[in-house]
């Protein structure tokens, strides 16, 4: 394989997406060399190189063809997308780094509907997304573009309201702010530009993508084992979310059977209690490490 056939993926070096991105790639079987302190590492067992960068730089690195793929928040991608002449393609949502871009204001702010934003000033590090939202909704509000600690802008009288990322909502409540309207739901995505990859790189991407899908499916799935009377089986199966045909094994000691089943949805305590009430016993719920369908 030629050096230029190696697929280069930019991920965040440090921060909220850094660990999630690296863990995902390692769960896909990438053996990365050298150790974590470097800005760049190479996978030993697949033609993939990883660049460790600031998340905001990933769209530029993709547009400039310094890397082929990136793992970045949809918020960053959509904020920056209009600055580039080419399109970005979000290949797969990765299920981590979940947050929302929301307009928030002081607890005492009298919010009725979007019209309440007219005439207000809004501080944000997402001026492009905010501007688009305001114009799509015919709201006449001014934007104060600031790069950090957006949540203190109302206290400092820099702006009436803010538009910032929220995940738990703790930062807002600590600053006596309340969430008013969500502009965008975001999570980490694997992204490329519209430019076609070489055949070798496309093949590597196809392998990686299959593995990522397998990791994500395994994360959502559980292996469930339990004993049940044969006559309760039909009833019990209706209680199991997202399952296909179970494996049923007779037990030698009594007229019960052992049931093995993969559930593709979360299994909650309520589900287990319902199973037990329907006659199931010795219920085990096990995590699944890898899955390929």
**Which residues are near Zn ion by CB under 5 A?**
55-56
Q: Determine if 17 is a binding residue for ligand PRT (CB under 6 A).
A: yes
Please give the Cα distance from 8 to 198 (Å, whole number): 12
Contact by Cβ (8 Å): 284, 226: yes
Q: Determine if 164 is a binding residue for ligand PRT (CB under 6 A).
A: yes
Write the interaction track for ligand PRT spanning residues 70-89; mark x where CB under 6 A is met and - where it is not.
Answer: ---x-xx-------------
Q: Which of 220, 218, 200 is nearest to 28 (CA)?
A: 218
* Tokens describing residue 291: 């899955």
Pick the binder of ligand PRT from 36, 54, 210, 290 (CB under 6 A).
54
**What torsion do the CA atoms of 38, 211, 3, 58 make, to the nearest 10 degrees?**
-50
Please give the Cα distance from 87 to 226 (Å, whole number): 50
Span from 39-47, 68-76, 221-229, 278-286 in contact with ligand PRT (CB under 6 A): 68-76
Q: Which is nearer to ligand PRT, 173 or 198 (CB)?
A: 173
Q: Determine if 155 is a binding residue for ligand PRT (CB under 6 A).
A: no
Question: Smallest gap, in angstroms, from Cβ of residue 178 to ligand PRT?
Answer: 12
Q: Where are the alpha helices (DSSP H) in the chain?
A: 18-27, 58-63, 74-80, 127-136, 170-174, 199-220, 233-239, 269-277
Question: Smallest gap, in angstroms, from Cβ of residue 76 to ligand PRT?
Answer: 5
Pick the binder of ligand PRT from 5, 6, 27, 56 (CB under 6 A).
56
Q: How many CB atoms lie within 10 A of CB 26?
A: 13
186 binds, among Zn ion, ligand PRT, none (CB under 5 to 8 A by kind): ligand PRT
- Contacts with ligand PRT, residue ranges (CB under 6 A): 12, 15-17, 54-56, 73, 75-76, 97, 99, 164-171, 186
């Amino acid at each position: 394989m030629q050096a230029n056939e190696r697929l280069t993926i930019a991920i965040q070096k440090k921060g909220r997406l850094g660990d999630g991105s690296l863990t995902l790639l390692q769960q896909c079987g990438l053996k990365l060399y050298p150790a974590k302190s470097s800005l760049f590492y190479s996978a030993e067992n697949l033609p993939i190189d990883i660049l460790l960068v600031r998340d905001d730089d990933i769209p530029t690195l993709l547009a400039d063809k310094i890397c082929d793929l990136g793992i970045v928040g949809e918020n960053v991608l959509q904020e920056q997308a209009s600055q580039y002449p080419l399109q970005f393609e979000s290949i797969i949502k990765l299920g981590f780094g979940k947050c929302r871009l929301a307009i928030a204001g002081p607890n005492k702010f009298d919010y009725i509907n979007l019209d309440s934003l007219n005439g207000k000033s809004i501080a944000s590090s997402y001026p492009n997304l905010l501007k688009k939202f305001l114009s799509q909704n015919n709201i006449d509000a001014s934007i104060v573009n600031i790069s950090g600690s957006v949540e203190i802008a109302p206290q400092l009288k820099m702006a009436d309201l803010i538009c910032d990322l929220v995940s738990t909502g703790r930062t807002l409540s600590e600053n006596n702010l309340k969430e008013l309207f969500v502009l965008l739901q975001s999570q980490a995505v694997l992204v490329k530009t519209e430019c076609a990859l070489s055949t070798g790189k496309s093949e590597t991407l196809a392998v990686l993508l299959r593995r990522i899908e397998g990791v994500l499916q395994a994360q959502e799935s559980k292996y469930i084992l339990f004993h049940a009377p044969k006559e309760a089986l039909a009833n019990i199966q209706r209680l199991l979310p997202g399952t296909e045909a179970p494996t049923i094994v007779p037990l030698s000691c009594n007229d019960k059977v052992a049931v093995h089943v993969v559930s593709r949805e979360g299994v909650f305590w309520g589900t287990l209690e319902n199973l037990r009430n329907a006659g199931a016993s010795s219920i085990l719920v096990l995590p699944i490490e890898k899955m390929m369908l």
